[in-house]
Structure 1
């Protein structure tokens, strides 16, 4: 039962718009949907160990300033999920199977209007318009539930450096390393063959080691079960985590420190014809609830903070670091589930890569040169119904992909509908 509930929480937090404060408690009932309980069938299946979820997420974006003109663009994702609890179904304790199909659609405002940004202003557009098998894995609990073993088609960011997508700009969404070295660290919705071992060393701490196949063919814009050739190496992330609760178990936090090594070779970003052996990086993720409203219906009501830092190697990475920090408050205007969030971020291009760009610009004056990208985003999240979240947002961006690009203002609306 514990594994089943934990799997549900990971699924719901992995993609959805569930608020800015830590929300790590277990699901004990079927999440609500627009189509209801299907005359009791949906709830019965859940109790039997079969969960079904159909969802659609959409992101509207309008550039009120910046780029080559004004335009409104929409990007979205449709996904269908199936989860199986092996204890309920077959009497095998501690087993969970998960399958998720995703299909992304729409247009990229940043590319269409040439905003010159390093990061997407609509995070859900990432990896283009294509249907994919995003999850196809089995997880088993061992050693009285202390050891978690997962194997199959997985996304790196669901286990390593994972972070919720409350904001619309990619800078603040998903596992941060995938935002800056996305040519080999594949976040949702791109999956790869992988396995992960996590050992709960204490009630509030864990150590985790994973291994993922590095295969550029996983980015092919086509539907497939999984690539069985074309691998260039293996990525090995190691993560230490701490999940404390302060003030009488009311203030929950999550602290992660991780490093990774990719055995694949890669071209040097400055020295033409030079190949480097191995790629690497490190990250820190901090999320902590700071205040709690006593007696509130929602345990997450109150103020929370997050900080994320990621650094990559300077030999092979076009972008070498990303820093973000933000605040969120849940329970505004007497609405226990509504929340507001504000974040600031910086994405920094590798100086060696910038040097190579300037050398190219000497030959072609129109060639772009990168600079640090700074931005801030503010959102308000309206939980209109248990199955509907609407999140208007405001982004102010100093673009970093082209130093000649002027500052941009993007007005957005992020929504999530569970069917």
Structure 2
């Protein structure tokens, strides 16, 4: 879902897209300043609209992802994974006169099964991005955000997820390769995306109308991965994650074609073992990322201002000393306004996740001693989806994934038939 950094995209087109992402993404819930689309339960006799006017946004959404492996793995199977989000957003300016203050609470509960593991697909990235981090309830957000100096400075602190502010990206696709903050897809052992939260803070400064600089600090604590509900861990931290991000939000052709470009780097102060050399430990681990999204065409007079063709490009590079995967690249196209339906969209993306050659060499050495040891390689895949906005509160998104798996060189190519859906209550 659209997150805080997406708030930098102030154009009408991207704001319309945000409402679409809200229904399908497994990521952050909306804060109080953004009203959710009408839910299945309606306006509650006008109470929902009244609460919003008072600065209170109640958010309840269920996301489900079905995946069937028509080819690959040890046989055919259908698996479902899902997530329930329950959120409360407060606009404290409306509620208490605290100008620029926002509070967000979000509880998540994940459930279901992982097709990757159940059918031994041998791939690096999940075919159901909503799966992971345990079938448990978690406190995913508990933060306060304050805006200063005419809206130019944004300070946020509390229990946060790294990917909601740094390298954030919506989850339109079902394969994890194309979903969420990319660093968390390849160095998930210390960059924790949704729904795992940690103590953190983020300072963003809008240096111009179309640019910002952002620095964040997050606790790196492996205990946050424990499969249990908790308010916060106060021991066990190994270091601090420090992502720095520069953003540019240009608008071309009179503001009709909007983009968002993010260039970032991260450094984690934790010590980490070398992926190849035994008994060698490194002080710190790091990486770079790029996220680029641009609307390419605009349909004049369209019912939905977001109608048109959009392009995205992403890449992430962690250091080769400590990461088993040393790069991920994705590119994709989307078109909103398909078959005469203003909100329906279609998307296609290609991506690769590179296995670190140093780690591959280490696995080959182990395989010489134990023939059952899998040897990884680079993973390549494509995904195509069609998004049917059946109602304002129900979205159905059938998808097709073709994957050359990278977790094991002996694994067969994979064909996945998927269905992603979301229901807003």
Match of 1:21 in 2: none
| Equivalent residue runs for 1:264-343 within 5 Å | 264-343=270-349
Match of 2:24 in 1: 17
> How far apart are 1:16 and its partner, in Å?
4.0
Q: 393-402 or 242-251, which moves further after superposition?
A: 242-251
1:410 to 416, 419, 423: 416
1:135, 1:154 within 8 Å by CA — same for their partners in 2? yes
Unaligned runs of 5+ in 1: 19-25
Distance 1:297 1:14 in 2: 18
2:173 to 167, 170, 176: 167
| SS of alignment partner, residue 43 of structure 1 | helix
Matched, 1:191 2:197: yes
Matched, 1:254 2:254: no
Distance 1:14 1:340 in 2: 13
**TM-score scaled by length of structure 2:** 0.94
Match of 2:227 in 1: 221
| SS of alignment partner, residue 39 of structure 1 | helix
Distance 2:103 2:392 in 1: 26
**TM-score scaled by length of structure 1:** 0.95
Aligned length: 409
| SS of alignment partner, residue 105 of structure 2 | strand
| SS of alignment partner, residue 339 of structure 2 | helix
Unaligned runs of 5+ in 2: 9-14, 26-31
> How far apart are 1:162 and its partner, in Å?
0.2
> Over the residues paired in the alignment, what is the CA RMSD in angstroms?
1.8
Structure 1 residues 395 and 206: alpha-carbon distance in aligned structure 2, compared to 1, 3 A threshold: same
| Equivalent residue runs for 1:33-52 within 5 Å | 33-52=39-58
> How far apart are 1:14 and its partner, in Å?
7.2
Matched, 1:144 2:150: yes
| SS of alignment partner, residue 168 of structure 1 | coil
Match of 1:87 in 2: 93
Matched, 1:105 2:111: yes
1:14, 1:158 within 8 Å by CA — same for their partners in 2? no
1:15, 1:165 within 8 Å by CA — same for their partners in 2? no
Distance 2:240 2:55 in 1: 34
Structure 1 residues 56 and 29: alpha-carbon distance in aligned structure 2, compared to 1, 3 A threshold: closer
After superposition, what is the alpha-carbon deviation per residue over 1:128-180, rounded to whole angstroms, capped at 9, x for unaligned? 21110000000000111100000000000000000000000000000000000
Matched, 1:344 2:350: yes
Distance 1:262 1:165 in 2: 25
